Amino acid sequence: MILHIILSSSFHLARNTLGGRHAQHGGWQTAPFATVAALTLTLLGSPLAAQDNPVPPRFATMLSNTDLPGGDLTPVFNTTLMQCHATCLRLEDCTGFTFNQRAGACFPKSAPGAAIPFEGAISGRINQVAPSVLSTAADLRPQLDFLDSADFTEARAQAETLANRHYANGMSEEALLQGATGTNRVLWTGAAVTVNDSPQAWLGYTRALRAQAQSGQGNSFELNRQAVSAALNATLRSETPGVQADALVALAEALEARFRGEAGLGAIRLADQFSPGVARETLVRMREEYGFRLLSHDIESMTAAPRICARFSEDLSPSRDYTPFVQTRTSGLAVEAEGRQLCISGVAYGENYSLTLRAGLPAASGDTLARDVPLEVYVRDRAPRVAFPGRGYVLPATGTRALPVETVNADQLDLRLLRVSDRNIVTAIRRSEFNRALGNWEGERFEQLLAEPVWHGSARVEGTLNRATTSRLPLDEAGPLEPGVYVLRAEVPETDSWEIPPAMQWFMVSDLGLTTLAGN
Question: 423-449, pLDDT tens digit by residue?
Answer: 888 888 888 878 777 777 777 778 878
Distance CA 181, CA 189 (A): 9
> Are 230 and 95 found together in one domain?
no
Is residue 121 assigned to a domain?
no
Q: E strands within 301-350?
A: 307-312, 326-328, 334-338, 341-345
CATH of the domain at 369: 2.60.40
Pure H helices in 237-317: 241-257, 261-274, 280-290
Question: 145-177, pLDDT tens digit by residue?
Answer: 999 999 999 999 999 999 999 999 999 999 999
C-beta separation of 126 from 59 below 8 A: yes
Q: Rounded to the nearest 5°, which phi and psi values hold at 451?
A: -120, 155
Nearest one of 163, 158, 87, 83 to 124, comparing CA atoms: 163
- What confidence score (pLDDT) does residue 432 get? 81
CATH of the domain at 140: 1.25.40.10
Question: 87-134, pLDDT tens digit by residue?
Answer: 999 999 999 999 999 999 999 999 999 999 999 999 999 999 999 999
Distance CA 413, CA 489 (A): 10
C-beta separation of 178 from 255 below 8 A: no
Number of domain units in the chain: 4
Question: 461-488, pLDDT tens digit by residue?
Answer: 988 888 889 999 888 888 888 899 999 9
> Are 164 and 301 found together in one domain?
no
Domain boundary among 379, 411, 432: 379
Which conformational region is residue 136 in: left (phi greater than 0), alpha (psi within -120 to 50 degrees), or beta?
alpha
Percentage of the chain lying above the pLDDT 90 cut: 66
Residue 333: which domain range? 294-379
> Are 462 and 398 found together in one domain?
yes
> Are 140 and 226 found together in one domain?
yes
Is residue 124 assigned to a domain?
no
* Average pLDDT, integer, range 362-382: 93
Nearest one of 235, 227, 129, 246 to 185, comparing CA atoms: 227
Is residue 399 assigned to a domain?
yes
Element (H, E) at 489: strand 484-491
**CA dist 398 → 376, 508, 509 (Å):** 56, 13, 9
Q: Which residues of 239-273 are buried (b: 16+ CB within 10 A; e: fewer)?
A: eeeebbbbbbbbbbbbbbbbebbbbbbbbbbbbbe
CA angle 332/334/339 to nearest 5° reads 170
Distance CA 168, CA 166 (A): 7
What is the Cα Rg of the chain in Å? 39
Domain boundary among 244, 270, 289: 289
Beta bridge partners of 459: 413
Domain boundary among 289, 311, 331: 289
Which of these ranges, 35-49, 86-100, 280-294, 466-480, has the smallest mean pLDDT? 35-49
